[in-house]
Amino acid sequence: MKIICIGRNYTDHIKELSNERPEEPVVFIKPDSSVLPKEQDFYIPEFSNEIHYEVEVLVKIKKVGKHIDKKFAHKYYDEIGLGIDFTARDLQSKLKEKGLPWEKAKGFDGAAVIGKWLHVSNFQDVNALSFSLFKNEKEVQKGNTSLMLWKIDELLSYVSKFFTLKKGDIIFTGTPAGVGKIQVNDYLSGVLEGQELFTVKIK
């Protein structure tokens, strides 16, 4: 299983981190070992003092695809989910300053929260999904897939030019504005179209 992540896919998030707007999707990968096991708490790693939450809509690939045309991309998934791309922001900033890869800041153990999956038939339009992240019952991130720079089918088509997509692969489609630091004893929950798809306790 591959976890393919998209960075800088929401304008407001690009602005809040003072990044440049990309001309094409920013792509990076998390290893399968980064998946936080179901029902397990997230433990803040000792190598970072600034772990940020980033809530994202997820897409699960259902069959093998390569060089997928955008008009056929919808045939390669039928489940949508919600998750968190945990990021060691202090470590990422140091790596970016040196022009080095982000993997240590994005792919560490537990850095990928994957919630429940919902069939696409639950939604009228995957390009108009509202979602939120709550920290200690307060909404801290709110987004809608209509605001993506590149929509789901565009992302699938783009990514498949470089990586063969296989059944079970997961695409993290990017985070909206509102990312922030977690603390010990925080309680996070993610909601997609009114349905809670994950909860995480921070230790």
Tens of pLDDT, residue by residue over 99-147, are 999 899 999 999 999 999 999 999 999 999 999 999 999 999 999 999 9
**What global pTM score does this model have?**
0.95
Name the DSSP class of 102: S
In this predicted structure, the answer to whether residue 14 has a pLDDT above a threshold of 60 is no
Residue with tokens 């939604």: 123
The residue ranges of every structural domain in the chain are 3-201
In this predicted structure, the answer to whether residue 15 has a pLDDT above a threshold of 80 is no
CA distances from 94 to 97, 99, 100, 104, 181 (A): 5, 9, 9, 11, 17
> 168 is written with which tokens?
């079970």
Q: What's the CATH code, domain 3-201? A: 3.90.850.10
8 A C-beta contact, residue 41 and residue 199:
no
pLDDT, tens digit (0-9, with 9 covering 90-100), for 147-157: 999 999 999 99
Please tell me the distance from the alpha carbon of residue 203 to that of residue 150, in angstroms, as a whole number.
Answer: 35
Burial 76-107 (b: 16+ CB within 10 A, else e): bbbbbbbbbbbbbbbbbeebeeeeeebbbbbb
